[in-house]
Amino acid sequence: MNPIKNKRQLLPIVFCLSGMCISAFCGSRAFFLGFVISLWLIAIRYFCDHKRRILWMGLVIVFILAIGVIQLKSDSSLGRLLIYKISLSIWRDHFLQGVGWSGFKKVYLEYQAAYFATGHYSNKELLLADNTRFAFNDYWQVILELGVFGCVLVSGHCYFLFVAIKSALSFEAGAGLIFELAFISCLTISIAACFTHVLENLWAVCCLVTAVSILLYRLRFPKFNRGFQLVYASMLSGLLIFSDGTRRLYHYRVYQTYEESRMLVKSGFRAAALNKLQSLYPVLNHDGDYLSYFGKQLAYSNKTKLAVMILKQAGEHLSIADNYMQLGECYYLLHEFSLAEAAYIQGINMVPNRFRNRYALYVFYRDTGQTKKAAETGKGLLNLPVKIPSAIIKHIQSVVAQDFNK
């Protein structure tokens, strides 16, 4: 018996298939898997006479797809496993209170540097390491940033999904188009959030809030007033959009000036760019990206002491290897060699596969007469696995080899 009684009931299936096609075109494995699982559950709802058969077939298909998706970009998947492995140390140190909202990007690379500083890692892990600001699992990142409270939030969301799926499967096919689309949206976004950073995007948050409110309305939870939930969700989504739009509008001129300064630097007008960057400091002094860029331009303009101050301030909001390498250069120019060495080494340990960073430390040792350390660093450079071959890597290896042959 065909459970699809009218064409409108095909829309959820078309929605899932369209989402799968768009996800595949955009290269989003997380959303592709989310839409596949949503389609599978919709099929179980519609073909209830064959529920057990579809359930087992779906489990096999989802498992095969999951393995295929992982193998499709195996390095990307292994890179995320490395992030999870290192971030476990963050959780052990901050499991109660967390590192604070948006704190992951401030502390993760410090822990990654500590991990590689031990020397107990594989060549594969060395090649996979990179600058990252996200845990590539929104739930894990919430737990890391909010601690126990984050665990409560994630547990509550998982419980809601369980109840929503269980209740959705008990409704007859075609119980409500809006409900089914909300169910698909909520489930897909929730699954995608397990594998990538979704909830940093306003559109994803608004979709999730709206979908959850519709599900609460349809599922008729006794503790929630349906009308209040819809009004609350609509107001919350509207407030999110309004607040983000207001913030963007308020800072529009500021970020426009920031982009103008970057264009001036590219055009060679560094002095004019610095004037603009300095004028933005009172407004953007909590923006890690701005502070990092400002600090580098100060260093390039030989304002070394001020560059050190700004780069250290940038580290309070955003931790990246490039800032430490620039700090090392600044300390070297100020003849603070111990601080320079520490900064260089920290930058290298954060992303240990960068040839330029190791070469900067090699040149520092060579130019300061630290022959033994220069030799050790040079040998490490020549033996360093190459992630992506390039002309600059060949040049660095050639220079170091020539130094050794002198």
Question: d(Cα 88, Cα 111) in Å, to the nearest integer?
Answer: 10
Res 178: pLDDT: 76
For the domain 260-405, what is the CATH superfamily, name and number? Tetratricopeptide repeat domain (1.25.40.10)
Report the predicted TM-score, pTM, of the whole model to 2 decimal places.
Answer: 0.84
**Which own/partner pairs from 386-389 qualify as long-range (CB within 8 Å, at least 24 positions apart)?**
387/127, 387/353
Q: How far apart are CA 11 and CA 270, in angstroms?
A: 56
The whole-number average pLDDT for the span 267-271 is 90
Q: What is the pLDDT of residue 243?
A: 64
In this prediction, residue 1 carries a pLDDT of 44
**Count of Cβ atoms closer than 10 Å to residue 318 Cβ:** 19
| Average pLDDT value for the chain | 85
Instruction: Supply the pLDDT for residue 166.
Output: 81
pLDDT digits (tens, 9 = 90+) for 273-313: 999 999 999 989 999 999 999 999 999 999 999 999 999 99
Question: Do 330 and 307 form a contact (C-beta atoms < 8 A)?
Answer: yes
What does the pLDDT look like over 66-101, one tens digit per residue?
666 555 666 777 888 999 999 999 999 999 999 998
**Rounded to an integer, what distance in angstroms lies between the CA atom of residue 279 and that of residue 293?**
14
Inter-residue contact 293 to 316 (CB < 8 Å): no
pLDDT of 192-204, one tens digit each? 999 888 988 878 8
- Domain segments of the chain as ranges: 8-72+149-249, 74-146, 260-405
pLDDT (average), residues 162-191: 79
CA torsion, ordered 255, 257, 260, 262, to nearest 10 deg: -60
Q: Which residue has the higher pLDDT, 106 or 218?
A: 106
More confident residue, 333 or 241: 333
Instruction: Quote the pLDDT of residue 165.
Output: 84
Distance CA 146, CA 153 (A): 9
More confident of the two residues 367 and 247:
367
3-state DSSP of 263-297: HHHHHCCHHHHHHHHHHHHHHHCCCHHHHHHHHHH
